[in-house]
Every structure is written in C-alpha cells, then in structure tokens.
C-alpha cells in the first residue's frame, strides 16, 4: 500500500503544489476546500464516527479524523493568508 501512496503523492501532490505556488486564485480555492474538509473531519471526530475508506476494508478511526482535521485547518490558514491577504500591495487610488 505504501508504494501506491507515494506514487499518488508524486502524481497528484507535486502538480498541485506547483499550481498553488504559482497562481493566487488556486490558493483561494484550496483555502475553501481545506476549510470544508477540516470541518468534516472535526465533525467525524466529535460524532465518534469511523469512516470506511473506499475500495478497501480499512476504516479511519475518529482519532485519525481529529489529526486530519487539524492538519487541514492549518493548511486552510496558510492558503487563506497567501491566497487572500498577502501579495503585492494594491495601488492607491488617485484622488
């Protein structure tokens, strides 16, 4: 299973990271996606719901949901800052 996960990180993760660094609008999108994902993971933890993983017999424990929710919230905060609040200063309007 580990080689498949590493391959998925390389195939999906690296292009996503490249696009996120290069395009501000994509970071804005990722902020929203991480916000929703972190909320769902925290809900799964608080409701004590084990989540079955698709196409496997494995089940994600509520404790793992808490860990994933925390990581996704941190990624939300990073994408929110770099997508909305940082960057080039706006030009002052000439009055």
> Looking at the domain assignment, is residue 70 inside a domain?
yes
Domain range spanning residue 34? Answer: 24-84
In the predicted model, what is the mean pLDDT of the chain? 89
46 in any annotated domain: yes
pTM of this prediction exceeds 0.85: no
Question: For 80-94, what is each residue's pLDDT tens digit?
Answer: 999 998 866 555 555
Per-position DSSP letters for 41-77, written without gaps between them? HHHHHHTT--EEPTTSS-EE-HHHHHHHHHHHHHHHH
Q: Is residue 59 part of a domain?
A: yes
Domain annotation covers residue 35: yes
75 located within any domain: yes
Position 95 confidence tier, pLDDT thresholds 50, 70, 90: low
Q: Is 4 domain-assigned? A: no
Q: How far is CA 9 from CA 1, 12, 16, 39, 69, in A?
A: 13, 5, 10, 23, 19
Whether 53 is covered by a domain: the verdict is yes
Write 12-21 long-range contacts (CB < 8 A, 24+).
20/79
Assess contact for 65 and 41: CB atoms under 8 A: yes
């Amino acid at each position: 299973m580990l080689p498949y996960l590493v391959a998925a990180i390389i195939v999906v993760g690296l292009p996503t990271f490249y696009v996120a660094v290069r395009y501000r609008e994509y970071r804005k999108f990722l902020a929203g996606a991480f916000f929703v994902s972190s909320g769902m993971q925290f809900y799964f933890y608080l409701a004590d719901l084990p989540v079955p993983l698709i196409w496997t017999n494995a089940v994600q424990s509520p404790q793992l949901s808490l860990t994933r929710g925390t990581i996704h919230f941190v990624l939300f905060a990073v994408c929110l800052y770099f997508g909305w609040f940082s960057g080039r200063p706006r030009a002052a309007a000439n009055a």
